Structure 1
Amino acid sequence: MTSIVISSQKGGVGKTTVSINLAFAFAKAGRKVLLVDADPQGSVGLSLTRQSRKLLGFFDYLSEDGCSLQSLVVPTRMETFSMVPSGQGEGYELGGGYNESVAERVQCFIDDAESDGYDLVIFDSAAGLFGITRDVLVCADAALVPQQAEPLGIRSVPKMLQGLTDLRAMNPKLKILGVLLTMVQRELAESAEAADSLRELLPEALVMLEEIGRNDLFLKASGKGVPVGVLQGAEALSNNFNGLRLEIESKLGLSRDNA
């Protein structure tokens, strides 16, 4: 099993959109996927089910020893695609630095997911590299960094990548998949220049080939509580996420025999 964290330095870059639609792309390709809402804001749950605020979830697993993974899983209409909402997690400390006991619970969660037959766990994380996001990253196999194609945001990317590199001292297996440009508007000069500047700034291997454009269909999908790929007229976006899936499979050496 492989675990991937969708992580960014700041909010508003499309982490949740990427998490949901990338998970859907993997599930559609036949992999058994568990999408985990590891952000206290609960954005994944709110995007896919309006009842998520009432459900137990990931933070309850971290704070309650008797909470099983199976009791938290919310199925979707696709047999290969399930999710775990953020949950309640009362009394859990979300901020601060690395917490070894929390990281141990995160590792137990990942181990339980593997025991339950999942091929892939995707964590939608809170912005920054501290608190629960740090605890998840020290247990995960890989990290993907969405970044909005706008000038100010691009400048923070090297710092984010350095922070992930530093975390490899605690988790040597952590692979930095690269930066995924999001909300790209190639018809807008400032957005196109920001995207091209990032590609010039970083080594080619650290920027994903696929780009995710700004599109109103993402809002419609969120309003309906579904991945964008199930909407009519979303073929181009589906192709983007499928291309991203293939890139990730290549970088992680995930053969189709393991699907």
Structure 2
Amino acid sequence: MSTADLTLALELAEAADEHTLARFAAVDLRVETKPDRTPVTDADIAVEDLIRARIAERRPGDGVAGEERGGTVGTGRCWLVDPIDGTKNFSRGVGVWATLIALLEDGEPVVGVASAPALGRRWWAAKGQGAFVRDHRGTRRITVSGVGALADAYLSTTEFTTWREHHSLAAYQRLSGACWQSRALGDFWSHCLVAEGAIDLAAEPIVNPWDLAALFVIVTEAGGRFTDLSGQPRYDNGSALSSNGLLHEAALGELDRQD
């Protein structure tokens, strides 16, 4: 990983934003349903194709894997792309969605960008270089919160019903009950807000690697901790828990506790 890789990732995000904003809330937006019953729009396909073409031109030796066109992550360098994280929001005219771009080296995320143009925000990080956000206040370095007790913590998740279907609704209720406040801000935004220190915990019971690789870098470079729900430091085990680090073990304990 080099500074040039982060620069390229930011350039890819800029190009993606231009296209997604042009298609957001478009009257002729085409929406289809994939076999897993999740939506895909013409913008999802076009943005992934755009990113793949740019990478092929600028980094012809790198692999690419993405939500819409597939691909595998193995050894060496590979870019992992989610062209629109939050397609349901995007297709309904809700502005909480982002393009997620990560560079992996031998399977480890080393560069991450999450760009949410409808929110006017972009987050990025590179291994060993810290995490940053650009918004209406300009560009600044970000760090996680210093909240040290679950009773004072702000927790976010995605769609509430997924806990019943894919993990344990009781486990999430224990965790949320132990926290000060909980919301379902959803998807990338929850984890980015953990990195900013605006919230303290984000948990997802079912999620894909392309949804998490970029966020893994951003949260950890902001001083936080990112694992699956069993506590393994992975972005590709199908679930996610991000935190300010101080709360992580306590949160895992609530999720694992048997009443």
TM-score, normalized by length of structure 2? 0.24
Per residue, is there more helix in 1 or in 2? 1
TM-score, normalized by length of structure 1? 0.24
